[in-house]
Structure 1
Amino acid sequence: MKVFNLQIEDTLSRLLLQEDTDGDKKITIEDKGPKAFDLISEDGTKHVIKGTYQLSNLLQELVIAKYDGKTSVKIPLNKIDEPPVSRISRMIRDFYWKGLTRSMDAQGVEKLISDTKNESLTAEKLPIYIPFQDDLAFNYYKTLETKLNINAAKLPEVISPEFVKSLNDKPGILSLKLEKENGEIKGVPFVVPGGRFNEMYGWDSYFESVGLLVDGKVDLAKAMADNFQYEIEHYGKILNANRSYYLTRTQPPFYTSLIREVFEITNDKNWLKSHLKTAIKEYESVWMVKGKRLTENGLNRYLAEGLGIPPECEEGHYDAVLKPFAAEVNCSIEDYITKYQKGELQNDFLDTYFLHDRTVRESGHDTSYRIEGNCADLNLVELNVLLYKYELDFAELIKNVFDDSFNANSNSYTSSYWFKKADNRKQLVNTFCWNADLGLYVDYNHVTKTQSTFVAATTFTPLWCNLASKEQATVLVKNALPLLKEKGGIAGSTKASRGDISEERPARQWDYPNGWAPHQMMIWKGLINYGFNKEAQELIYRWLFMIIKNAVDYNGTIPEKYDVVEATHKVFAEYGNVGTDFEYISQEGFGWMNASYQYGLSLLENRYIQNLNKLIEPEKIF
């Protein structure tokens, strides 16, 4: 095997000067260089590195060595010619997860201070908000105030929407779990999505943990669950993310799935017992309160209980909505926002608009025409599927692990209690969300008492936890796959449901033509649950092929989402595409995209893996 002994700076300079013709400090198919670079091996023979993929691999290996503080490096040819399937997997396992791991101790907080979302705070200290009961964290962060540019502030015992709104002009980070070991305080680690998403997000964390478990990083997945537990115990819910403006907002519930999958590896019964108590508390206090997230028909909805305009949105995001109201009172949009936020102007329409807008963000599907303008009125099929999974997990864990008796929150539970709840929810989902005429699962508007006609990837979610009957599953797969399957996998919605796009009605990122990792992962598992293995293999192949092709052509790019119709990372929708803006090498990929790759690879048959390495188009195989 040829080995190249290279001076890093000199080789990097020559390589980029020759091959990076557009000056973006990457080597991609859009560069116009010769795509051939001479290297001298250790035995003195010349070797020509040819092709975009190989040249970008060389660039990446040089940069990794540079980041390690080296001035020279020995790079074997098999690293440059490494098959793409295994290279991407290795980079995720050994490099990207590390780049995405954070903690809320001194070292981790120092990184958070440089977050782009804190740039407006340069003249002040970054607030770190600590739960009322957590004296360990409060005292710890107080000691850091003299060392770091932070301000430790304790939250009130009762956190109201009014209080959360009062923090909008001084947003900060919410503390997560700290542990004291041998006199030293350390933050319990967590994985962030990546890019501008530099916090612990709710449902992202579950899907990231699926990938972590595939990669044998059990302690990190366990730590994610421990931080979930901290959030429930101290903030009352699993947060949208651990920033102050998310205190009234939760996320899609995957907590029981996470603790169950961790327990299946660790068999730590005491750990499971503690988390199961917390999960039951979350279920009862967050989801099953009548008039809030529990609707009159027995199904659930999302309901973000904040007030005013969501402060995390970029300037100008709501201008089109606010403009006519500002014109009506003859003031600028900026002045209208100020007066509306202070309560000097009353506007019932905007109150309702922002209730639904915040709730869209709580749902995780921000944004989509499926739920825009009415999200708080909808029994979303995927939410009720997730809560059915909670009830089923409670029942099965209590029966199989805790001898059919479990005490939590001053109550004693048996498996039959939870099996009955799960069976009741299954009946309700099939009553309100199953459309027999379409052969699809859809959302239900509990206010208008009507089913939605919007066809989305979420129609498949009942298969993920075996809620559908075999007959329903067969009809669903027959009807939904042709509607939603695209070159790169399953689209967020059908084009017809999304409707026409214009300047006045821009594309939404969770709709056609875009595809998202959590949808794919749930759909793969659901298809396998019901024996649709051929269909699952095809969808996994399509998704992985798209990831690999884009990574090969674009210097290892692994982004937040894809346009699955064109099978490209070049997505034209709001918010851009996190994970595409880097120089030399991606150090993170993107959290749940990394996970989808590792999970999909663990499910894919070997014969298809060989085809992926050869970059054989899906259409030539299926």
Structure 2
Amino acid sequence: MTETTDLQARDSERQQARLARVAPADTLTPADRYQELFVAVQIGRVFADSKTFVDCAPRIDPERILEAYRARHAMPDFDLAAFVHEHFQPEPAHDSEYVADRDRPLAEHIDALWDVLTRQPREHPVRSSLLPLPNPYVVPGGRFGEMYYWDSYFTMLGLAASGRRDLLRHMADNFAYLIDSCGHVPNGNRSYYLSRSQPPVFALMTELFEREGVREALAYLPRLRREHAFWMDGGDELRPGEVHRHCVRMEDGVLLNRYWDDRDTPREESYLEDVSTARACDRPAHEVYRELRAGAASGWDFSSRWCGGDGALTSIRTTLIVPVDLNSFLHKLEEQIAELSLAAGDDAAAADFARRARDRRHAIDRWLWSEADDAYLDYDWHDGAPRPMLTAAMATPLYVGIASREQAARVATTLRTQLLQAGGLATTRNLSGEQWDRPNGWAPLQWLGILGLADYGEAALAAEIRRRWLATVGDLYRSEGKLVEKYDISAADDGAHGGGGGEYPLQDGFGWTNGVTRMLLQQPVPL
């Protein structure tokens, strides 16, 4: 047995041991499980937040609950809220006794937060929507009490900077388990997230695991292949102009990707919000639901980036858009599979994926680079035209190393003149009321921009974005003793503010803000 196959065999044995101790997931979503009861609870706004009910745990067998509801709901004195509280246990709020000491350095504060944000699988309630995991995991915080896909990569950066190899190892095993058991990484470890994924960053994770001594990237090659198959399902059979699930065959025959969700019903965690959006449209409701779900799969939920000319959420058209960041991440995935396949001695697979990566890079240049705008733009395959919107996603090709030196220099100029704000990089230039638009800044986009620019020698701009972002996060920490999900980065002189907009209140915690900030504090010049 070669060293490579021996490594994969040992990893397979460890995986089988993990599978043996994890309870089977209930893959029925709350809407599937509770049917008309679910609709009544969400439409009736029994809970102020639509996510509360889908995260509840049933106190007795779900079938008995539905039978009881059907027997009682038509009675004159039936009280829906009382029935729900009788039969369901809301997820307990994780308000810890942890109190921030604002005199404590920010890095120490973040180091102390990791245990506060860690959840234990043994604490999972029975028959809830949580998908079981074999190991402890870090959650974002606030209303988000589960592990999220692309959030976790940025959280892991902070775990590495804090020296938390234990949690890094647990997270690595959890993501490998999800790919093995689900065939892809769901949006989050909830049954209602199974129909979609999020930006595919597992390849970036495996590089981090190897760099931090958690496990060699080669051990993850089968999972990387399986994730790629999920994203490319049905693509090989498409003719120019055709689409299927995540795949878009462009008019010149090249294959690119879009965001997608396999369901076309309201998001269960935002049920009433989605129903209200669809009612305000003159489009078929199922089309609107699919577009909203695909927008959630993008991680940018929501942004005028995914909408029609007026930027209103009612015009959302996510599945008609070929995004630059998604295709950059998939290039990274293909490139890494090629490199690892070569290391494993699989020359045929190495050659195949090297060709796929080259083809995608050329396609990104052909379809997503704009000479006129000095930027990477998304492309509307339905309208056959680039999307005329500058977004911070243009930094992603730099982050994965597929821009030319000239393109990187031009992107740097565009970022500096169009998106750089007092507190960091803006997400877009549009003020829409959605949370992934102005005036908000988000930690993952700062990281992609800073590291991408630094990798192409744009150190001055990278350092300036880092300085502005750390000042924003530090100012709010000193004034309020916390880190938050997003920040208003537009103001220069009146202090730092948490961001706004979107479907839910500003969340404290907060996983990826902690992660990016902790790593930026550790490396003064991100090279």
Using the alignment, how far apart are the partners of 1:605 and 1:278 within structure 2?
33
Structure 2 residue aligned with 1:333: none
Question: Which residue type is aligned with residue 127 of structure 2?
Answer: P
Q: SS of 1:299's equivalent?
A: strand
In the superposition, the TM-score normalised over structure 1's length comes to 0.62
Task: Name the residue aligned to 1:289.
Answer: 234
Aligned in 2, Cα 1:376/1:418: closer, same or farther, shift over 3 Å? same
Secondary structure (helix, strand or coil) at the match of 2:497 reads coil
SS at match of 1:493: coil
* Partner Cα distance (2:178, 2:501) in 1: 32
Structure 1 unaligned spans of 5+? 1-65, 69-78, 114-125, 129-171, 178-187, 326-347, 407-411, 502-506, 581-588, 607-622
2:256 maps to 1:299: yes
Q: 2:222 aligns with which of 273, 277, 283?
A: 277
Tell me whether 1:211 sits opposite 2:136 in the alignment.
no
Aligned to 1:510, what secondary structure does the other structure show?
Answer: coil
One-letter identity of the residue aligned with 2:108: R
Counterpart of 1:88, as a letter, is L
Tell me how far 1:513 sits from its aligned partner: 0.7
Q: Share of identical aligned residues, percent?
A: 29
- Amino acid paired to 2:337: F
Work out whether 1:570 is the aligned partner of 2:498.
yes
Selected match of 1:602 from 515, 522, 525 = 522
* Structure 1 CA distance for aligned equivalents of residues 375 and 399 of structure 2: 15
The structure 2 residue matched to 1:377, chosen from 305, 320, 344, is 320
Give the superposed CA RMSD: 2.4
The match for 1:561 is 486
1:89 equivalent in structure 2: 107
SS at the partner of 1:559?
Answer: coil
Partner SS for 1:242: coil
**Shift in alpha-carbon separation, 1:550–1:447, aligned structure 2, 3 A:** same
Aligned to 2:367: 432
Give the match for residue 174 of structure 1: 131
- Shift, 1:175, TM fit: 1.5
CA contact (8 A) 1:253 1:383 kept: yes
Q: Once the 2 structures are TM-superposed, how far is the Cα of residue 198 of structure 1 from its aligned partner?
A: 0.2
Instruction: Determine the structure 1 residue equivalent to 2:398.
Output: 463
Query: Matched residues in 2 for 1:283 and 1:413: separation?
Result: 16
Q: How has the CA–CA distance of structure 1 residues 320 and 233 changed in structure 2, closer, same or farther, with 3 Å as cutoff?
A: closer
On the 8 A contact 1:381/1:433 being kept in 2, the answer is: yes
Residue 600 of structure 1: how far off its partner (Å): 1.2
CA–CA separation in structure 1 for the residues paired with 2:162 and 2:224: 25
* Residues in 1 aligned to 2:110 and 2:379: alpha-carbon distance in whole angstroms: 39
SS in 2 for 1:261: helix
Structure with more strand by fraction: 1
- Partner secondary structure for residue 511 of structure 1: coil
Q: Which runs of 5+ in 2 are unaligned?
A: 1-95, 236-243, 308-315
Partner of 1:342: none
Task: Write the distance in 2 (CA, Å) between the matches of 1:599 and 1:564.
Answer: 20
Give the whole-Å Cα distance in 1 for the aligned partners of 2:113 and 2:413: 37
Contact 1:561 1:577 in 2 (8 A): no
Q: Residue 472 of structure 2: SS of its match in structure 1?
A: helix
CA contact (8 A) 1:257 1:393 kept: no
SS at match of 1:174: coil
Which whole-Å CA distance do the structure 1 matches of 2:275 and 2:208 have between them? Answer: 41
Shift of 1:577: 4.6
**Whole-angstrom CA distance in 2 between matches of 1:246 and 1:437:** 39
* Residues 434, 441 of structure 1: 8 Å contact kept: yes
- Matched to 2:387, the amino acid is S
Give the 3 Å change call, closer, same or farther, for CA 416–515 of structure 1 in structure 2. Answer: same
Asked if 1:416 corresponds to 2:363, the answer is: no
Q: Secondary structure at the match of 2:140?
A: coil
Could you tell me the TM-score, scaled by structure 2's length? Answer: 0.73
User: Closer, same or farther in 2 for the Cα pair 1:436/1:374, shift >3 Å?
Assistant: same
Cα shift at 1:365: 0.6
Pairwise CA distance, 1:444: 0.8
Aligned to 2:464: 538
Deviation at 1:273, TM superposition (A): 3.5
Whether 1:517 and 2:443 are equivalent positions in the alignment is: yes
Q: For residue 462 of structure 2, what is the amino acid of its counterpart?
A: A
Q: Alignment partner of 2:127: what SS? A: strand
Task: Find the aligned partners of 2:257 and 2:326 in 1 and give their Cα distance.
Answer: 7
How many positions carry a matched residue from both structures?
Answer: 408
| Partner SS state of residue 306, structure 2 | coil
Which residue matches 2:127?
127
Task: Answer yes or no: is the 8 Å Cα contact 1:209–1:221 preserved in 2.
Answer: yes
- SS state at 1:538 partner: helix
> Is the CA contact 1:513–1:565 (under 8 Å) kept in the aligned structure 2?
yes
Letter in 2 for 1:564: I
**1:390 alignment counterpart:** 333
Cα separation, partners in 2 of 1:318 and 1:527, compared to 1, 3 Å:
same
